[in-house]
């Protein structure tokens, strides 16, 4: 499919779309004018697609420096009467939460939708937090699509709902919804034509401090209005078609309540095992549709609540049973029927229901012992730093510097951060000892340097530094903390798929933009020692780190070289391997661990098709077995 | 592994219900960068164009950095995009040891098509097993084991990058596969650049022949 069809596609047309692409179509159909994000998997592709389509779709789009800024861009747009969209991964909500909480109070004029993508089973995240908790914390509505069509339809509906009640609305997805691909039928597109010389429409902010300035006198009233809105919306959730019963049988003893991706598994298990249970699917799950749930429960003896991450609908169901004095047994996460963590699938849901209904037959296949042995002995294949990755060279160099300074590994604490460079945790680099969140490496450096006598090396990427590394760096300098901060400036937001950030001269819509200098920022924060190094020059790397570790202030090293995955970079010739020179010392494999070099059947082997020509291995090999390739 | 099976696998396998003749689950696995997601998307789009219900699951992000990658594609009236254990009609593997990692999805009737060219992990705790031993052990345990040297066929078609097209061709050769080769080729053309179409057609054809003989 050509992505442009997300803009040009007409009502009734069908496309095979990723959940995140379906979200973009929903945004386009809803006539959104302003969109902002900070990239985070599993929501990243929404930004990648909007970045390409924004101008065609009359949308202003930006990659903001962090999720809080993105939330503020969207909130002010909606306060000015425009439809606005912000989206992030679940942990992005933590960063955005300070402004998000108050946006619930002040409300909106144009529709404002927040898509937050949860990551059960932590495919690319540091925790499994559940966005539905934020909806309850701030008290705003939640929609939970289960498939790509619903993503498109619910995003679109969320804007109508938001506008009708003047409240921001959350659309909660999971990895398996955002990264599901399915057939999506397009709907009609609401006009969002520009009313000025820009490609997007301008609104007007009509002043009303009692609505938009939460000083105590006004904020108290705002809280009353928020509850008033939510009580009215609860009447809608009780009637909404998004909360629907899927009927499989008239036998009313057992039933299922479910939402999001978990609903898909529950549906297939009930259907394909003839379990004779009706399912209440909660697509509009907060405010919790109490009356609808109570009505569903009224015929039942026992109910399974099937939901991923936290037992939220389960607790709400128990509360209604108590409130209405119903006699229904609830099976969910709290009674141990289903796991409290990790994503579900049909097998997990069937196993849980089987604990109560005992419907499964044991028909496991038997295999030869040779297969069991083979399965136990296959090598692991964890994600690794790419061949030619500048981070590998830097990690190799810092470890050499530590060795040459006569320090033990236990003498140096590595505080890591969120990005590809977290993969430095793997051997042989072993360069990640502590990690909390985006930007935490800098604050962690502050804490470790006053709490221990160990050396501290903090690592942060360029995009993460702009996101939330600057204020802790000011803290470090002002409070005289002693550590070495490395900014791994690879000229892109790499881990999420290569989005621009303020350090490069291009913005989210592909236009030229001012480039913000990490070096000047570090100097402006008051750092006396700021060095820009080329990580592929090992001698320079080792020398600089030795110097920095000897200091007693906050030293900043900017390790600057572009990510090898950036498109359009000049190709360098692959390294040449001269087998007759190889002494089998294995340093290139055991200390550098580049995926282009492996040891197969006792021999060093270089895969020229993988080699990126970074030439770092040449500097590692003492025997001249690895030599620069010719053009 | 092999922990759970549906109570009535036959019923499950037929369960596309309304469209039970056209149900088909493919588990595709390999190593990041081999074109696995694109291959699955092409099959999915072809299924949509033939009017079939189709859902697919893919994983992006950290797992792409040279790690194991898999997609799951389900044709027929399924809501879940994840194939249950032992629920695959075909296991299509781009790399020998990734085949072993995908065996949870396999039952005794599953077609196991795999590329015999290994990608050896650069740093790993364990030695890479011999491909012959993998093939032999698989054949001892499963009825339909179809190893092909997809990498070689791709090179012959014009580029090692056409490996995914060779394997796409191999899928269309399975008699139970509910999509026509023509509709898969149409979807390929709609998803990949015209300058590669000729090479891709060659690769699809050689993958098809490697199974059909």
- Residue B94 tokens read as 């781009």
Answer yes or no: do B79 and A360 touch at CB < 8 A.
no
Note the pLDDT tens digit of each residue in A598-607. Answer: 888 889 999 8
From A186, A181, A272, A174, select the one nearest B55 (Cα to Cα): A181
Flag whether pLDDT at B13 surpasses 50: no
A194-197 — which CB contacts under 8 Å span 24+ positions?
A: A194/A58
Task: Band the pLDDT of B16: cuts 50, 70, 90.
Answer: very low
Tell me, yes or no, if B193 comes closer than 8 A to chain A by beta carbon: no
From A274-283, A475-484, B1-10, B75-84, the region with the lowest mean pLDDT: B1-10
- pLDDT on residue B17: 38
> What letters, b where the CB count within 10 A reaches 16 and e where it falls short, cover A387-416?
bbbbbbbbbbbbbbbbeeeeeeeeebbbbb
Flag whether pLDDT at A472 surpasses 90: yes
Flag whether pLDDT at B3 surpasses 50: no
Answer yes or no: do A44 and B61 touch at CB < 8 A.
yes
Q: Considering the entire predicted model, what is its pTM?
A: 0.95
Of the two residues B4 and B211, the one the predictor is more confident about is B211
CA distance B70 to chain A (A): 12
Counted across chains A and B, CB pairs separated by less than 8 A come out at 212
Tell me, yes or no, if B158 comes closer than 8 A to chain A by beta carbon: no
The pLDDT > 70 percentage for chain A reads 100
Of the two residues A290 and B10, the one the predictor is more confident about is A290
Tell me, yes or no, if A384 comes closer than 8 A to chain B by beta carbon: yes
Pairing of strands B54-58, A180-185: antiparallel
Note the pLDDT tens digit of each residue in A142-178. Answer: 999 999 999 999 999 999 999 999 999 999 999 999 9
At a CB cut-off of 8 Å and minimum separation 6, what does A235 contact? none
Tell me, yes or no, if B108 comes closer than 8 A to chain A by beta carbon: yes
Note the pLDDT tens digit of each residue in A271-320. Answer: 999 999 999 999 999 999 999 999 999 999 999 999 999 999 999 999 99
DSSP assignment string, A442-500: HHHHHHHHHH-SSEEEEEEEHHHHHHHTHHHHHHHHHTT--EEEEEEE-SSBTTTT-B-
- pLDDT on residue B21: 59
From B93, B109, B100, select the one nearest B23 (Cα to Cα): B109
- pLDDT on residue B61: 61
- pLDDT on residue B14: 45
Q: Which chain B residue lies closest to A609 (C-alpha atoms)?
A: B160
- Site from A371, A597, A605, A607 to mutate, B interface, most B CB atoms within 10 angstroms: A371
Instruction: List the strands of the sheet with A180-185, edge to edge.
Output: A14-18, A180-185, B54-58, B68-75, B24-31, B90-93, B111-115, B144-148
| Arithmetic mean of pLDDT over chain A | 96
The pLDDT > 90 percentage for chain B reads 77
Answer yes or no: do B54 and A589 touch at CB < 8 A.
no
- Contact residues, chain B, for A274 at CB < 8 Å: 11
Flag whether pLDDT at A571 surpasses 80: yes
Range A391-405 average pLDDT: 98
Flag whether pLDDT at A88 surpasses 90: yes
- Contact residues, chain A, for B6 at CB < 8 Å: 272-273, 346, 350, 360
CA distance A346 to chain B (A): 6
CA distance B83 to chain A (A): 8
CA distance B173 to chain A (A): 23
Of A182, A383, A596, the CB nearest to B62: A383
Tell me, yes or no, if A371 comes closer than 8 A to chain B by beta carbon: yes
With contact defined as beta carbons under 8 Å apart, do A592 and A396 qualify? yes
> What letters, b where the CB count within 10 A reaches 16 and e where it falls short, cover B106-122?
bbeebbbbbbbbbbbbb
- CA distance readout (Å), B88 to B35, B48, B110, B179: 20, 19, 6, 16
Answer yes or no: do A378 and B126 touch at CB < 8 A.
yes
Answer yes or no: is the ipTM higher than 0.90: yes
Q: Which chain A residue lies closest to B16 (C-alpha atoms)?
A: A272
With contact defined as beta carbons under 8 Å apart, do B150 and B170 qualify? yes
At a CB cut-off of 8 Å and minimum separation 6, what does B29 contact? B36, B68, B69, B70, B71, B91, B92, B93, B94, B95, B98, B99, B101, B102
- Contact residues, chain B, for A16 at CB < 8 Å: 41, 44-45, 48, 54
- pLDDT on residue B123: 67
Answer yes or no: do B57 and A371 touch at CB < 8 A.
no
CA distance A270 to chain B (A): 11
Q: What is the DSSP letter of A47?
A: H
Other CB atoms closer than 10 Å to residue A302's CB: what's the count?
15
Flag whether pLDDT at B2 surpasses 80: no
Tell me, yes or no, if A263 comes closer than 8 A to chain B by beta carbon: yes
Tell me, yes or no, if A491 comes closer than 8 A to chain B by beta carbon: no
Flag whether pLDDT at B12 surpasses 60: no
Answer yes or no: do A273 and B5 touch at CB < 8 A.
no
Flag whether pLDDT at A582 surpasses 60: yes
């Amino acid at each position: 499919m050509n992505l442009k069809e997300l803009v040009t596609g007409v009502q009734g047309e069908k496309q095979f779309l990723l959940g995140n692409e379906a979200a973009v179509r929903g945004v386009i159909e809803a006539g959104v004018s302003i969109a902002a994000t900070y990239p985070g998997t599993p929501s990243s592709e929404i930004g990648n697609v909007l970045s390409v389509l924004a101008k065609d779709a009359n949308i202003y789009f930006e990659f903001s420096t962090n999720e809080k800024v993105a939330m503020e861009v969207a909130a002010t747009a909606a306060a000015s009467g425009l439809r606005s969209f912000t989206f992030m991964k679940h942990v992005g909500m933590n960063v955005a939460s300070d402004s998000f909480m108050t946006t619930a109070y002040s409300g909106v004029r144009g529709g404002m939708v927040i898509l937050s993508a949860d990551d059960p089973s932590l495919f690319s995240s540091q925790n499994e937090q559940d966005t539905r908790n934020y909806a309850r914390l701030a008290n705003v509505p939640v929609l939970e699509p289960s498939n790509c069509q619903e993503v498109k339809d619910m995003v679109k509906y969320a804007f109508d709902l938001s506008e009708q009640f003047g409240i921001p609305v959350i659309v909660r997805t999971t990895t398996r919804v955002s990264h599901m691909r399915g057939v999506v039928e397009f709907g009609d597109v609401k006009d969002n034509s520009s009313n000025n010389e820009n490609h997007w429409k301008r609104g007007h902010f009509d002043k009303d401090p009692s609505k938009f300035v939460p000083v105590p006198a006004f904020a108290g009233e705002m809280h009353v209005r928020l509850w008033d809105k939510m009580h009215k919306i609860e009447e809608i959730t009780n009637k909404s078609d998004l909360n629907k019963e899927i009927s499989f049988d008239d036998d009313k003893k057992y039933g299922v309540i479910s939402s999001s991706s978990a609903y898909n598994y529950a549906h297939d298990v009930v259907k394909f095992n003839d379990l004779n249970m009706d399912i209440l699917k909660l697509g509009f799950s907060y405010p919790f549709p109490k009356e609808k749930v109570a009505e569903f429960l009224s015929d039942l003896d026992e109910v399974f609540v099937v939901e991923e991450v936290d037992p939220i609908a389960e607790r709400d169901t128990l509360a209604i049973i108590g409130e209405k004095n119903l006699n229904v047994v609830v099976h969910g996460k709290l009674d141990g029927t289903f796991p409290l963590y990790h994503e579900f699938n049909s097998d997990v849901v069937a196993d849980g229901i089987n604990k109560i209904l005992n419907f499964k037959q044991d028909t496991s296949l038997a295999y030869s012992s040779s297969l069991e042995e083979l399965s136990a002995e296959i090598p692991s294949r964890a994600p690794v730093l790419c061949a030619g990755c500048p981070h590998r060279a830097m990690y190799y160099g810092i470890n050499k510097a530590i060795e040459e300074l006569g320090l033990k590994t236990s003498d140096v604490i590595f505080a890591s951060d969120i990005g590809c460079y977290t993969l430095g945790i793997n051997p042989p680099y072993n360069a990640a000892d502590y990690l909390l969140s985006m930007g935490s490496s800098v604050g962690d450096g502050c804490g470790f340097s006053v709490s221990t006598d160990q050396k501290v090396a903090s690592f942060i990427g360029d995009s993460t530094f702009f996101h939330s590394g600057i204020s802790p760096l000011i803290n470090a300098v002002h409070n005289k903390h002693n550590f070495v901060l490395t900014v791994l400036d690879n000229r892109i937001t790499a881990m999420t798929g290569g989005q621009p950030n303020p350090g490069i001269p291009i913005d989210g819509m592909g236009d030229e933009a001012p480039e913000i200098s990490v070096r000047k920022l570090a100097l402006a924060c008051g750092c006396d020692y700021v060095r820009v190094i080329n990580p592929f020059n090992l001698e320079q790397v080792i020398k600089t780190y030795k110097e920095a570790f000897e200091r007693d202030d906050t030293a900043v090293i900017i390790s600057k070289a572009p990510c090898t995955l950036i498109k359009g970079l000049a190709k360098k010739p692959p390294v040449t391997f001269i087998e007759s020179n190889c002494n089998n010392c294995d340093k290139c494999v055991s200390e550098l661990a580049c995926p282009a070099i492996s040891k197969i059947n006792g021999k060093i082997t270089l895969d020229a098709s993988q080699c990126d020509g970074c030439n770092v291995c040449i500097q590692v090999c003492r025997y001249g077995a690895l030599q620069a390739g010719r053009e | 592994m092999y922990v759970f099976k549906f109570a009535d696998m036959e019923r499950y396998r037929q369960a596309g219900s309304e469209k039970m003749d056209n149900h088909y689950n493919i588990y595709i696995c390999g190593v990041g960068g081999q074109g696995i997601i694109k291959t699955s998307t092409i099959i999915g789009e072809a299924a949509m164009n033939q009017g079939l219900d189709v859902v697919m699951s893919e994983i992006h992000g950290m797992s792409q950095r040279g790690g194991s990658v898999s997609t799951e594609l389900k044709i027929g009236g399924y809501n879940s995009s994840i194939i249950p254990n032992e629920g695959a009609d075909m296991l299509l593997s781009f790399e020998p040891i990734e085949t072993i990692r995908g065996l949870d999805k396999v039952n005794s009737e599953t077609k196991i098509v795999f590329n015999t060219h290994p990608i050896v992990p650069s740093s790993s705790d364990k030695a890479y097993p011999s491909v012959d031993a993998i093939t032999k052990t698989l054949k001892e345990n499963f009825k339909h084991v179809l190893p092909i040297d997809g990498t070689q066929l791709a090179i012959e078609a014009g580029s090692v990058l056409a490996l995914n097209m060779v394997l796409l061709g191999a899928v269309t050769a399975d008699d139970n596969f509910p999509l026509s080769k023509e509709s898969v080729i149409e979807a390929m053309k709609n998803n990949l650049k015209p300058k590669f179409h000729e090479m891709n057609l060659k690769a699809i054809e050689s993958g098809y022949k490697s199974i059909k003989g």
